[in-house]
A and B are shown apart, each in its own frame.
Chain A
Amino acid sequence: MSYLLAMSKRIIQQIIRDKRTIALLILAPLLILTLVWYIFGADASDPKLAVIHYEHSELLPAFKKADYKRMTPLQARQALADGKIDAYVDLKHPVDVHLEGSNPSRNGLVMSKIQKSMQEVQKISVNQMQDRFQNVIKKQQQAIKAQQQAMKQMTQIIRQTAPSALAGLDLNLPQVGQNMPHQQDGEKPQLDVTYLHGDDDLNTFDSFGPAMVGIFVFLFIFMIGGVSFLRERTTGTLDRLMASPIRNDQIIGGYLIGFGLFVIVQSFILTCYIIYVLDIYNVGSLLDVLIIVFILSFSSLSLSILLSTAAKNELQMLQFIPLVIVPQVFLSGLFPTDTLPRWVQALGNLMPIHYSTEALRNIMIRGTGFSGWWFDGLALLLFSAVFITINIFALRASRPVS
Chain B
Amino acid sequence: MTYPIKGEHLYKRFKKQVVLDDVSLTLNEGEIYGLIGPSGSGKTTLVKILLGLEKADSGTVELFEQKPTLYAFRSLGYMAQSDALYHELTAYQNLSFFAAIQGLRGRKKKQRILEVAESVGLENDLKKNVAQFSGGMRRRLSLASALVHEPRLYLLDEPTVGLDPLIRRNIWTLFHYLKEKGATIIVTTHVMDEVSRCDRVGLLSGGHMIAEGSPKELTEAFHVSSVEDIFLVKGGERQ
Residues of A bordering B, CB below 8 Å: 2-3, 6-7, 9-10, 13-14, 17-18, 235-237, 239-247, 398-402
Contacts and interface: CB of A to CB of B under 8 A. Distances in A.
A400 B54 CA distance: 7
B121 interface: no
Nearest to A248: B70
A243 B73 contact: yes
Nearest to B97: A10
Contacts of B102: 244-245
A9 B109 CA distance: 15
Given A17-B129, A400-B54, A237 B101 contact: no
B53 A399 contact: yes
Q: Which range contains the number of B residues in contact with the other chain?
A: 35 or more
Nearest to A3: B101
Nearest to B70: A245
A353 to B, nearest CB: 28
Interface in B171-201: none
B204 interface: no
Contacts of B48: 239
A243 B101 CA distance: 10
Interface string B68-86: 1111011010101111111
A237 B84 contact: yes
Interface of B: 48, 51-55, 68-71, 73-74, 76, 78, 80-90, 93, 97-98, 100-103, 105, 129, 145, 155
Given A3-B101, A10-B89, A240 B80 contact: yes
A222 B53 CA distance: 27
Contacts of B90: 17
A25 to B, nearest CB: 14
A395 B97 CA distance: 20
B78 A235 contact: no
Given A3-B103, A239-B84, A244-B74, 16 more contacts: A10-B89, A13-B89, A14-B89, A17-B89, A17-B129, A235-B83, A235-B85, A239-B78, A240-B80, A242-B51, A243-B155, A245-B70, A245-B101, A401-B68, A401-B73, A402-B69
A309 B51 CA distance: 21
A240 B78 contact: yes
B86 A244 contact: no
A16 B22 CA distance: 48
A245 B72 CA distance: 8
Given A245-B103, A246-B101, A400-B52, A14 B70 contact: no
| Interface pairs A-B: 10 shortest CB-CB | A6-B100, A236-B84, A236-B82, A400-B55, A243-B78, A401-B52, A236-B80, A10-B97, A401-B68, A245-B73
B152 to A, nearest CB: 14
B89 A242 contact: no
Contacts of B93: 10, 13, 17
A124 B171 CA distance: 98
A245 B88 contact: no
Contacts of B83: 235-236
Contacts of B74: 244-245
B105 A2 contact: yes
